Structures are given as C-alpha cells and as structure tokens.
Amino acid sequence: MADTSYYVYALKDPRTSPAMPFYIGKGTGTRSYDHLARPEDSLQGQRIKDITASGNKVLVTRLVDSLSEGQALKLEAELISAFGTVETGGILTNAVMPSGLGKKSRPTLTVPHGAKEKAQLGLSLLKEAVLEFAKVNPKGTNSDTASLLGLRSDYGGGSKDYLSYSVLGLLMREGKLAREGSSKRHVAQVN
C-alpha cells in the first residue's frame, strides 16, 4: 500500500484580506509549522518575522491531505507555478531559482507562466537525488549516476550523459560535490 501521509500546505499573510499565500510547500507530520518555529534567513523567513512583529500570526492552511509523495510534489509544483515566485513577478517567497541562473532573456522566445518554477523544482529534486547517490557511492562515476538514476538518454549522439553532467556541474559550483583528482568520480563534500 502506498504511503499517503503527505499533504500540501500554504503559509498565508493575515494582514491582507483575503489572506494571501506567500509560501506553498509539501510535507508530513508537523512540517507546515516547522517554518514558524525556526524562520530561515530567506524571503519566507523574513515574511514570517514581519508578520509576527506586526502582532499577527501566520495562517497555516493544509490544502490537500492524504497524498502520496509524488502527488504532493506535482500539486506543489502546479501551485507554485500558478502563483509564481516573487523573483518571477508572482506572490510566493518560495526559493526555487538557483542564484545567477535563469536570468537570460530572449525576445523571440516565450516562457509559459510557471514553466521556470516547475523546471527549478524538478532541478532541485534531481540535484538532491544525485547528491544522495554520490554520498553513498563515493567510487561511483558520472556514467553510474546517469545509468542507475535513469538519467541516461538513448539518443544516438554523443551526449547521453549531458543532463547528469549539467547537474554535477551545478553541484560542484555550489561546493556540494568535488571531482576526485583527475578521475571521473565526483565525491560529496561534508558540510
């Protein structure tokens, strides 16, 4: 039987009427309240602090209960893309964009509303999976990562591992992975 303990929730600002969401998340247990106990150093954390400092309480609303993790991820991504993030002109403080990336603009191309948020949520999950794989497989190679995580393309050209190399490159830039000498191995850095 599938685990259906996940839910999708919204943190809302009671200083507006109606109280508008400023963060959408998924979780289990007390996850929706964890933000309030330990506000992060982020847009979301600052909003929580501002609401509290004004004498109000953040409204925590469970939007949908009894979901599988996959269902919760999909709904979370859809809602974030529908509301948009502050960084992309929307109202949510969700931080889904890696700093310094995704800033290019091409007047001849149209980016559908919410597509960037969906891509960045997916990238975030992909990076987590690659990093977890690297932590437990310090002798694994990019080829192992691509094959065993289902990231290898069956394209006939020479770019079968391009996606996993891109993810590895992002993780290296963030200091979470490092190349082991001149080998093709990428080792997770201890934080």
The rounded distance, in Å, linking the Cα atoms of 115 and 134 is 28
Q: Is the pTM of this model over 0.75?
A: no
One domain for residues 13 and 82: yes
66: domain CATH number is 3.40.1440
Q: Answer yes or no: is 17 within a domain.
A: yes
Contact 150, 113 (CB under 8 A): no
One domain for residues 141 and 78: no
Domain count, the chain: 2
Q: What is the pLDDT of residue 98?
A: 43
163: domain CATH number is 1.10.10
Q: Answer yes or no: is 101 within a domain.
A: no
Q: Answer yes or no: is 108 within a domain.
A: no
Task: From 88, 123, 154, give the residue that closes a domain.
Answer: 88
Phi, then psi, of 155 in degrees rounded to 5: -60, 140
The rounded distance, in Å, linking the Cα atoms of 70 and 31 is 17
Q: How far apart are the first and last CA of the chain?
A: 36
Q: What's the domain range around 132?
A: 115-188
Please give the chain's pLDDT, 191 residues, in tens: 778 999 999 999 999 999 999 999 999 999 999 999 989 899 999 999 999 999 999 999 999 999 988 888 888 888 988 888 888 888 999 986 444 445 566 788 887 877 777 777 788 788 888 888 888 988 888 788 888 888 877 776 666 677 777 888 888 887 888 888 777 777 888 65
One domain for residues 83 and 15: yes
Q: Which residues contact 165 (CB under 8 A, 6 or more apart)?
A: 142
